[in-house]
Chains A and B, each alone.
Chain A
């Protein structure tokens, strides 16, 4: 069965640079979520999209933005990167017919130096 795809899997950036993370949800899933997991921490909800519209917003910094495109893939754009942004970034997808059970991608490990 198809799973959530994230790219890149690993990313190294310097402070103040920008980064773009991509997420391809499971086909026919209508909702995409982004989570951030810092070292030794639990995942924190950042933002979600339903049918290409932003639906919920969590602890997403103003330096970050996200969008979902017509083909349902989503991108998380991160600017003015800080050392504290180093984390695993997960994308998840779900469907209303699937009772919103969330399926997670493998994550993108972002390291800011």
Chain B
């Protein structure tokens, strides 16, 4: 059974810092891996999708990497801003149609 773990559970940084969020998964037979952002009480916004055959994806200040053999993914956020404050969720896709197994998230706070 797939299990997804995210470290740290919470992170507080000053504005402008570069930071790394970590995600690990137990079953390397994933279809893809998605990173999401969730604001309190709101929906999930897809940030990046990494296919199982890829090593990394980039979008603006975000860069996500995937190492299937070690069961790890990282989300790198460059030059953090207060607007980046949210919970970041990592999810591994499996099953016949890629249903997602989520980690418990990293709650990020960027201080001005």
Interface size on A, residues (CB 8 A): 27
**Residue among B32, B36, B44, B95 having the largest count of chain A Cβ atoms under 10 Å:** B44
Count contacts on B: residues with CB < 8 A to the other chain.
Answer: 26
Interface string of A83-113 (1 = CB under 8 A from B): 0000010101010000111111111010000
Task: Say whether A42 contacts B99, CB under 8 Å.
Answer: no
State the CA gap A109–B42 with chains docked (Å): 10
Q: A41-65 toward B: CB 8 Å interface, digit per residue (1/0)? A: 1111100101000011010000000
A97 to B45, CA, bound (A): 20
- Chain A residue at minimal CB-CB distance from B102: A42
Verify if A24 is at the interface (C-beta below 8 Å from B). Answer: no
Interface of A is mostly: strand
Is residue A31 contacting chain B, with contact meaning CB distance below 8 A? yes
How many cross-chain pairs have Cβ atoms below 8 Å apart between A and B?
Answer: 70
Interface of B is mostly: strand
Which among B31, B41, B46, B100 is the interface contact of A45 at CB below 8 angstroms? B100
Instruction: Contacts A42-B89, A42-B105 given; indicate if A101 touches B97 (C-beta within 8 A).
Output: no
Q: Can you list 30 contacts pairing A with B, beta carbon distance less than 8 Å?
A: A31-B97, A33-B99, A35-B100, A42-B103, A42-B104, A43-B100, A43-B102, A50-B96, A55-B96, A56-B95, A56-B97, A56-B99, A58-B99, A90-B43, A92-B44, A94-B97, A99-B51, A100-B32, A100-B93, A100-B97, A100-B98, A101-B46, A101-B49, A102-B46, A102-B98, A102-B100, A104-B44, A104-B45, A104-B46, A107-B43
Chain A residues within CB distance 8 Å of chain B: 31, 33, 35, 41-45, 48, 50, 55-56, 58, 88, 90, 92, 94, 99-107, 109
8 A-B pairs closest in CB distance: A100-B98, A42-B102, A104-B44, A56-B95, A101-B49, A106-B43, A55-B97, A45-B99
Given contacts A45-B101, A102-B93, A106-B43, 8 further A-B contacts (CB under 8 A): A35-B100, A43-B91, A55-B97, A56-B99, A90-B43, A90-B44, A101-B49, A104-B44
Q: Which residues of B contact A (CB under 8 A)?
A: 31-32, 34, 36, 41-46, 49, 51, 89, 91, 93, 95-105
